[in-house]
Chain A
């Protein structure tokens, strides 16, 4: 396959981005803002009808990528989401740079192979350089056998959420990172058109029954 961006066939078959680039991206950005300021609470992504996600990305993940990425950011796809089509799409619509896992500003992954190991945490001088992990989750519902209890900024008393298809070891890793604050990883969990944000400032507890 010719992977040059100027290849005429590639452009002819390129899936569409936002129908209205400015306003759709603003609407999704507002959703992300709400998700991160109200940790653990379910938000509905306002994805536009014109959006055509490339295989194997979901609609929600695609909308987040189109909103958050530009030429000055870098992205890493985990093996489960990496494909030529996804890369060409991201490059064409946002101009994002490809980066290895340890250096990327944004990492997109499926819940099954999500890990925090080796992600960029930022430094005390520049905590904003910590990575954002975008997880394509199978479900965002609260399950009976285990759940997470969230406290911290943006939560009045406490907030509950499910494990979102992520392994319990992942959440233990996340909890271990809490002592590194203000360094850390911001999480965006997407399932269909639903979104949950877990910023690095949120304190988690695992509750198993």
Chain B
């Protein structure tokens, strides 16, 4: 099978958007796009721990930051005799959210649905997330303390 519909990076991007999407936003989209399809659960949702490792400022030695709860599942769907498998990984224990992510991932790999879902589901969720991030950053920026004056005297 040759697939030029999307790259691995594209899939990573939409999975990130879906995994970060708030429950309400995802539920609304799922209500609209998921019901017409019948899913086969290759892996039912299961909850486990994942170790998060980090490096300060992305440099220096790696250390174990802590463990997080992750729920994952795998859904399969057939559209026009083309079977695709979608994976859902979300932080926390919300199994329904993991199911929605897996279902959308499977549907997004279907050539007949790809473009529509990208425009109707991924794009709005991504825009909503960016808007929320911008808003939060603006709120933090307002309380920023500037040491500009002190610095310029020191360098003068």
Contacts and interface: CB of A to CB of B under 8 A. Distances in A.
B42 A13 contact: no
A16 B42 contact: yes
Given A16-B42, A21-B44, A11 B109 contact: no
B84 A12 contact: yes
Interface in A146-160: none
B69 interface: no
B48 to A, nearest CB: 11
B44 A8 contact: no
A14 B42 contact: yes
Interface string B45-74: 000000000000000000000000000001
B99 interface: no
B109 A8 contact: yes
A14 B74 CA distance: 11
B42 A8 contact: no
A13 B84 contact: no
Interface string A14-52: 101000010000000000000000000000000000000
* Range class of the B interface residue count: 10 to 19
Chief secondary structure at chain A's binding surface = helix
A21 B40 CA distance: 14
Contacts of A8: 3, 11, 84-85, 109
A9 interface: yes
B44 A13 contact: no
A14 B44 contact: no
B42 A11 contact: yes
Interface in B69-96: 74, 76, 83-85, 87
A13 B85 CA distance: 8
Contacts of A14: 42, 85
B83 A13 contact: yes
B93 to A, nearest CB: 18
A16 B40 CA distance: 9
A66 to B, nearest CB: 13
21 contacts: A8-B3, A8-B11, A8-B84, A8-B85, A8-B109, A9-B1, A11-B42, A11-B74, A11-B76, A11-B85, A11-B87, A12-B76, A12-B83, A12-B84, A12-B85, A13-B83, A14-B42, A14-B85, A16-B40, A16-B42, A21-B44
Interface of B: 1, 3, 11, 40, 42, 44, 74, 76, 83-85, 87, 109
Given A8-B11, A12-B84, A14-B42, 18 more contacts: A8-B3, A8-B84, A8-B85, A8-B109, A9-B1, A11-B42, A11-B74, A11-B76, A11-B85, A11-B87, A12-B76, A12-B83, A12-B85, A13-B83, A14-B85, A16-B40, A16-B42, A21-B44
Per CB-CB distance, the 3 closest pairs between chain A and chain B, nearest first, are A11-B85, A12-B85, A12-B83
